[in-house]
Amino acid sequence: MLEKFERIKLGHFPTPIEHLNNISKHLDGPNIFIKRDDCTGLATGGNKTRKLEFLIPDAIKNKAELVVTVGAIQSNHARQTAAACALTGLKCIIVLEQRLKNAPEAYMKSGNVFLDKLFGAEVKICPKDNDVSEYTEKLIKDIKSKGTNVYFIPGGGSNPIGALGYVECLNEIIKENKKYNFTHILHATGSAGTQAGLLAGKKYFNCNIPIIGICIRHKKDTQVDKVYDEAKKTCEKLQCNILDKSDVIVYDEYIGPGYGEPTKEMIEATNLLAKKEAILLDPVYSGKAFAGLIGLIREKKFTKSDNVLFIHTGGAVSLSAYEWAF
């Protein structure tokens, strides 16, 4: 369906859908299913693989020699971008922003940060007193002044090109939905590209399943605006009808003290899924998103006859950087 857009193969698709039988029984709520986008294959997997399948060919089309992107210290997007660049022969610079207060040394050096370097990326830590956008803009300007052609990928790979990856993800879900009859789709929403792609896909494929985002950084009003703006641009790229703003459903009660800051609900959700289903969540995105799902079940937001699909966006690599939180 998206053949008109340039794409390269970086991952293993379609990702499997599994029934979380043990968790469903334990929570005594709806039937819970999981789409394993943690198993996309590139650099241990994750949702950014889908976005990079569209972003990297755009970089190549623009004759880029170097890709620059940004993220938090334990950015899953940074790791997968570094891996995609290694695979396609592009140089890569990762600008990492310190968002966590009083972070231990393991957080600053292990997990995704170690893998960024292992994949050959040059890692730059934005000084705490600098604005990361201004820091990155100056860096790119300096590199370009030396004659290098730079392609910038925004944080999370979230722009209308990257969001196409989640238009395709919804297409996968729709193709299998006759077996499952999903009543809701739920996932972590941060840089907005994943939810924007899913929502644009709803319009493109004329799908009526509600898509629920669990905020991991921004409060509700800010996140709704971010997602709607990105989804609207993605609809324009697809040349389909524009979604209504009311289609953007998010919950911001599970962020906790801030982005990447552990919460007791995240720890409960991560432990529960590991012990009941042998599936690893991550502390920043999927752990808080699944905590949101548990919270909504306990608030009776779903019926026992509902079939809820949780999209696992990956990120378990960062667990080693968060051992102190558990």
Q: State how beta strands 17-19 and 31-36 pair.
A: antiparallel
Global confidence as pTM: 0.97
CATH number belonging to domain 17-47+159-325: 3.40.50.1100
pLDDT of residue 129: 86
Question: 26, 128, 21, 28: which is closest to 73 by C-alpha?
Answer: 128
pLDDT over threshold 80, residue 1? no
pLDDT range class, residue 102, cuts 50, 70, 90: confident
| pLDDT per residue as tens digits for the range 289-324 | 999 999 999 999 999 999 999 999 999 999 999 999
Q: What is the mean pLDDT of the chain?
A: 97
pLDDT over threshold 80, residue 281? yes
Q: What are phi and psi of 101, to 5 degrees?
A: -75, 140
Class of the 48-156 domain? alpha beta
CB 112 within 8 A of CB 76: yes
CB 235 within 8 A of CB 242: yes
Structure-token match 């609207």, residue found = 232
| pLDDT per residue as tens digits for the range 33-52 | 999 999 999 999 999 999 99
| pLDDT per residue as tens digits for the range 52-96 | 999 999 999 999 999 999 999 999 999 999 999 999 999 999 999
Q: Which of 24, 75, 191, 286 is catalytic?
A: 75
What's the average model confidence in pLDDT over 277-298? 98
| pLDDT per residue as tens digits for the range 212-244 | 999 999 999 999 999 999 999 999 999 999 999
pLDDT of residue 163: 98
Percent of the chain at pLDDT exceeding 90? 97
pLDDT over threshold 90, residue 128? no
Helix H, strand E, coil C: the string for the chain is CCCCCCCCCCCCCCCCEEECHHHHHHHCCCEEEEEEHHHCCHHHCCCHHHHHHHHHHHHHHCCCCEEEEEEECCCHHHHHHHHHHHHHCCEEEEEEECCCCCCCHHHHHCCHHHHHHHCCCEEEEECCCCCHHHHHHHHHHHHHCCCCCEEEECHHHCCHHHHHHHHHHHHHHHHHHHHHCCCEEEEEECCCHHHHHHHHHHHHCCCCCCEEEEECCCCHHHHHHHHHHHHHHHHHHHCCCCCCHHHCEEECCCCCCCCCCCCHHHHHHHHHHHHHHCCCCCCCCHHHHHHHHHHHHHCCCCCCCCEEEEEECCCHHHHHHHHHHC
pLDDT over threshold 90, residue 16? yes
Domain boundaries, the chain: 17-47+159-325, 48-156
Active-site annotation holds for 110: no
| pLDDT per residue as tens digits for the range 173-190 | 999 999 999 999 999 999
